[in-house]
Structure 1
Amino acid sequence: MAGGWSRDGAVQEQIDTSVADAVAQARDKLSAGVSLSHCEECEDEIPQARRDALPGVRLCVACQAEVDGFQARQLGYNRRGSKDSQLR
């Protein structure tokens, strides 16, 4: 049941779209292909165990942690889930 000026099913559409976006983002993070022997960022050697565990890895653990932290800070606000969204 939708309220106000929104059409029926609008809330579920927002939920479905948010889930689809999250799945697409997770798939984009998956690495594939040949792993590098040295980090793209700092040129340190990537340990063989990491290369075996993550096919297509391109960054060392330290650089990957920095990238992940930056991405987490960028996600901060979920426009679709906010009360100020288009459903008003």
Structure 2
Amino acid sequence: MASGWAPDGAVQDQIDSTINDAVDRARMNRLKGPSAACCQECDEPIPPARREAVPGVQLCISCQSARDRKAASHAGYNRRGSKDSQLR
């Protein structure tokens, strides 16, 4: 049951929208093409097992981990709410 002016299911709609945004972002960042032999950021060799496991990989594990940590700080809640929810 929704409270205030929010329609029934508004919370679930916001959750669904957040998940859909995350899936869209992951699809946009999906790797494509051949794997690099050396990391594009630090120029260290990328192990053959990583290149085989992650097709299209361009970064070594440490550079990819650093990039993932930085990207995680931007992830969050979907702020697209109804106009009514912004009036409270």
Where on the TM-score scale, by shorter chain, does this alignment land: which range? 0.7 to 0.9
Question: CA-atom RMSD, angstroms?
Answer: 2.2
User: Which aligned pairs between 1:1-88 and structure 2 lie closer than 5 A?
Assistant: 1-75=1-75, 77-80=76-79, 86=82, 87=85, 88=88
- Aligned residues: percent identity? 47
Gap runs ≥5 in structure 1: none
In 2: Cα distance, 1:6 partner to 1:73 partner: 29
In 2: Cα distance, 1:16 partner to 1:27 partner: 16
Other structure's SS at 1:19 match = helix
Cα pair 2:36 2:57 within 8 Å, conserved:
yes
Letter of the 2:12 partner, please give it: Q
TM-score (norm 2): 0.77
TM-score (norm 1): 0.77
Cα pair 2:37 2:46 within 8 Å, conserved:
yes
Equivalent residues, number: 84
